[in-house]
Structure 1
Amino acid sequence: MTEQAKPSLEVCLSPALLHLYDVKNYIVVIIDVLRATSTICTALHNGATKVIPVSSVAECVSIGKQLGAITAGERDGMIAEGLLNGNSPFEYSREFIQDKTLVLTTTNGTKLLHMAKDAIQIVTGSFPNISAVCDYLVAQKLPVILGCAAWKDRANLEDTLFAGAVVSRIKEHFSVNCDSAIMAESVFNTSKDDIFGFMTQASHFKRLANYGLEKDIRYCLSPDGANVLPIFRNGELVIAG
């Protein structure tokens, strides 16, 4: 395939930049490594029927009551007031989540997901499902935006790292004419031999480590622990297929 015939692959480093991209012509991958998209794929991998991402705690509680669902979420890394469950992937074991619906609200990831609503398709990605994400994107043969949820609109290291890891894996199938993609891949190549060690300098690492969540961080940076592909359909995230 000639370079002109290949679909484009771009990286958006922050929700604040998403307006610069014409999302309706793209598959958008929502990336919120610490921890929303890691938790979403883990819950679905462990048997959740669906995950409903919502913007506010009030909406989370309301929908949870209507559906008899598990309500969960965080604000600034801590369980949000009014919710019983947080954003740790370790909360969503098969014993707890199988055959249940999870309604989830987070600081960054759910906001970006709703911002990208006009995309051809929306899927979610993180290291625990990186192979499923890469295989799907290559198979679709459509233009892709890797959308980083960032931290309150500021670019962050972990989402950039994951975007770079995806670029590194699939770039031969795409046309990459995007400085953000090149930057992300360069960051990943710098760190790929010890991603956890590299991440110890990141602001969100320090934030979560202060809460004793290093186990969460290590899981969220490890490949293919929950290798399913969540796809957004009719306001719900379900396993693609």
Structure 2
Amino acid sequence: MNKPTLYTCLSPALLHLYDVRDCIVVVIDILRATSTISTALYNGAKEIIPVDSVEKCIRLGKEMACITAGERDGKIAEGLQYGNSSFEYPREFIQGKILVLTTTNGTKLLHMALAKGATEIITGSFLNFSAVCQHLVEMKRNVILACAGWKDKVNMEDTLFAGAVVSEVEQHFNINCDSSGIASNLYQLAKDDMYEFMKKNDASHYHRLTKFGLEKDIRHCLTLDLANVLPYYMNERLVV
């Protein structure tokens, strides 16, 4: 039996090189959009509406009387109520509520994949690693691991997550893709302590968030299966 294919796209700027139409696209934005999405849904959020602009986020928040959240360059965007930290969405706050979210990289990439005709989009983070891998293996469909990076540049943490997924599911897929090999090899080097690996190798996002005093966020976002749900995009919303 023919195995499905798996490719890794290390930056949104490279997405045009991949045919996403008959694939499961896994949107990856570890620090911090897809980690926040997993956490909020795990903690009982009714749904998350990912939008690609602050203006749309504010407008929907008013129209629907729901929570607006998001960041630009790592800080809460002006006009929004909350930021992009998992710690802002405990169960007692988010349960049963709708969250409208916009982020610098992750929500933008999701809308790029939609514009290219993606028919199935899920979001991946270390916090929901097992749910993502299990879904990919069970569905037996072609996969694109799509890293959000940072403003179209490749970043370390999204690449590490893609590598973790490749390492976990590789026997179920045909993988003839240097990006997947690079990601997998990087993950093998880092897997014993990804936080220290990012610190030691001067990861740009490590510096950006540490500068804002967010070391706790970084450690949290690199932890396996703390919010092990599968965020699935349907009808312009992310739901479990």
TM-score (ref. length: structure 1):
0.97
Of residues 24, 32, 48, the one that matches 1:35 is: 32
Partner residue in 1 for 2:102: 105
Hey, what does 2:239 align to over in structure 1? 238
Matched with 1:62 is 59
Aligned position for 2:161: 162
Q: CA deviation at 1:25?
A: 1.6
Matched-pair identity in %: 64
1:120: how far off?
2.6
Letter in 2 for 1:78: K
Counterpart mapping for 1:87-166 below 5 A: 87-117=84-114, 118-166=117-165
Q: Tell which deviates more after alignment, 190-199 or 28-37.
A: 190-199
Unaligned runs of 5+ in 1: none
Q: Distance in 2 between matches of 1:178 and 1:210?
A: 35
Task: Report the Cα distance in structure 1 between the residues aligned to 2:218 and 2:57, rounded to whole angstroms.
Answer: 25
3-state DSSP class of the match of 1:132? Answer: helix
Amino acid in structure 2 at the alignment position of 1:195: M
Alignment coverage as a number of residue pairs: 236
Q: Which residue of 2 aligns with 1:11?
A: 8
Structure 1 range deviating more: 69-78 or 111-120: 111-120
Amino acid at match of 1:193: D
Could you say what secondary structure the match of 1:226 adopts?
coil
3-state SS of paired residue (1:72): strand
- Distance in 1 (CA, whole Å) between partners of 2:119 and 2:142 is 9
Provide the secondary structure at the position in 1 that maps to 2:21: helix
Equivalent residue letter for 1:43: A
1:227 alignment partner in structure 2 = 228
| 3-state SS of 2:229 partner | coil
Give SS of 1:23's match.
coil
Alignment-mate amino acid for residue 147 of structure 2: C
TM-score normalized by structure 2?
Answer: 0.97
RMSD of the alignment, in Å?
Answer: 0.6
Distance 2:193 2:228 in 1: 21
In structure 1, the partner of 2:186 is 187
AA paired with 1:111? K
Q: String of CA shifts for 1:26-77, please: whole Å, max 9, x gaps.
A: 1100000000000001000000000000011110010011111100000000
Matched residues in 2 for 1:181 and 1:25: separation? 19
